[in-house]
Amino acid sequence: MVKIQALQDEFIYQETLSSGLRVAIHPKPDFHNTLVTLQVGFGGTCLFYDVDDTRMEIPAGVAHFLEHLMFHNNAFDLPERFAQSGAEINAYTSKSLTAYQFKTINHIQSLLSDFLGNFIECGITDEVIEKERRIIEYELLMSDDSVHYDMYQRLMRMMYSDYSVHSDVGGTVKDVRKIDRSILEHVFETFYHPKNCTLIITGNVNAEEIITLLQNHPYNQKIWPRFPHINPIISHKSRRIHNQTRYAEDVTEPLITYAVRIPDEMMKSVDKEFLHIAFGSIVANVFGMGSSTFDYLEKIKLMNVSFYTKLSVEKTYGHLRIFIQTNKVKRYQKVMKEILLNVANKPLDEEFFHINKKNIIGNYITVFDSLSRVHDLLCNTMSEGVNLDEYVDHILNLKFEDMDAFRRIFVPENIYSIIYKKIKKN
């Protein structure tokens, strides 16, 4: 077991079990709760892929569908089992992975054992599949009523030609109707292999006891088949439409999103963690609360409470989105275009870059106050293959000039915009 010092009195224990499952345990003995997450490297973008030499194609929404079913695997009612102990169980599917989580204040050993036992074999019935299909259809309909969701989906379609990138994690109702038991069993066999999973535990646990339990668990003892080489196939054909204006009934005030797509060559050639850190620093430097842009937008009354930026760096694609809801459409467009193009043309704010480092140190210490925040951070760093202590060092060691290569992507061919306006009634 490798012991990592994450802070002067915070330690993380890491181990790779004989089955290939990577485990990180962060004991927090003063806390009552324990959080457990099993991350499976199978998410919404995995629709076309090679398994060794065989080309596979599955409908959108399979990862999400299977996530629903795993709560009722092998006729075992996992939520009921957890409820008996006052524990909460939950799951979500993102573009890159499926995560199963639970939170408890007691019976950690028996709960963890039952939890992991659920992922040894896939035993789902057609009855459960049909029941969950109906519930998923309701779930998908919920997003249909959101104009913000519609805007995001259209923007994704403008930026990416590949269905696996721009489709919703849950797929469409049409996609979901194509999913059957054989597809679900196939993806379980392919992706739910210990070598494709990580287990993260944060809270009131003893690391050695947990590792002993895991080593002796049937999940680890099982003779798993060889984990195949999986290669996702993504088409990176570029799209020509960069700006779009749409009209919708539900718009109370125009909605504007600008996006900067990270070029595919950069996605393929640069380490994802470094990409995240470098772009995160650019976004903080240009759009953060202490940036001169923020003050400028405030001064010329183009900043309001709806403004936000969101950086997404997934395994196969990445982009920055900048959103606002405002009536001052033309002025905002002119100013935002200028700001974005200036990122490539003008130097960033070096003084702010250095001041921000103290901020990063403070935020890192603060994270350890909250079980869920430190657990999420550990989940993210584990999925990127980085140790938590290295993570903060990597941010602090970033040099000002390191951002130069990345800010050069702020050029017209990578910039997109979409505007939603209210339909004018006759």
Partner 1 sequence: MDQPIKKNIKGIDVYYIKSDKFKTITWSFVFVHPSGTNHINEYYFLSDILVDNMKKYPTFVKKYRYLSSLYGLDAFSSATTIGANIVNQFVVTYPNEIYIKGEDSLSEKAFIFLNEIITDPKMREGKLTRKVYQDSIDEAKQSFNILKSDKDMFAYYQFAKEYYSDKPNLQYNFPDNDRLKEVTLDSLTKVYFDLLDQNRVSLFVTGKFDESKFDEIIQTHLSKQIQSQPIPVENRIYPTKKIKAPKMVRETSNVKQARIYIGYETDIEYYSDMHPAMSVFNDIFGGFDQSILFMDIRERSNLAYFVYSHYIPDEQTIVVPVLTDFDHEEEVIEKVKSGLKQIQNGEFSDALFQQAKNNALTSLYSIYDSQPIYLMQHIKTYHLQNRRYNLEERIKLYESITKEDVIQAANSLVLDTIYVMTKGGEANG
From the list 144-152, 186-194, 238-246, 256-264, the region that binds partner 1 by CB under 8 A is 144-152
In Å, what is the CA distance from 58 to each residue of 52, 136, 194? 16, 17, 22
- Which string of x and - marks every residue 102-141 that binds partner 1 (by CB under 8 A)? --xx-------------------------x--xxx-xx-x
Count of residues of this chain found to bind partner 1 when the rule CB under 8 A is applied: 63
Q: Site map for partner 1, 304-343, x if CB under 8 A? A: xxx------------------x------------------
- Which residues, including other chains, have CB under 8 Å from residue 366's CB and lie 6 or more apart? none
Chain center to CA of 200? 16
Q: In whole angstroms, what is the distance from residue 42 CA to residue 40 CA? A: 6
C-alpha span between 279 and 403 (Å, rounded): 8
Q: How far is the CB of 159 from partner 1 (least distance, A)?
A: 23
Q: Which has the closest alpha carbon to 198: 348, 389, 65, 15?
A: 15
Q: Say whether residue 147 binds partner 1 (CB under 8 A).
A: yes
Q: Which helix (H) or strand (E) is 246 found in, with range? A: strand 243-248
Q: Which residue, 14 or 291, is less far from partner 1 as judged by CB?
A: 291
Which residue lies nearer to partner 1 by CB, 250 or 413?
250
**How far is the C-alpha of 243 from the C-alpha of 261, rounded, in Å?**
13
According to the binding rule CB under 8 A, does residue 5 interact with partner 1? no
Nearest CB to partner 1, comparing residues 85 and 109: 85
404 contacts partner 1 (rule: CB under 8 A):
no
> Which of 2, 241, 361, 396 lies at the binding interface for partner 1 (CB under 8 A)?
361
What are the helix and strand counts (H, E) for the chain?
18, 15
Q: How far is the CB of 354 from partner 1 (least distance, A)?
A: 10
Interface with partner 1 (CB under 8 A), residue from 48, 76, 274, 294: 294
Is the Cβ of residue 131 or residue 242 nearer to partner 1 in the bound state?
A: 131
As given in the structure block, the two tokens for residue 89 are: 């169980």
Q: Around Cβ 70, how many Cβ atoms within 10 Å?
A: 23
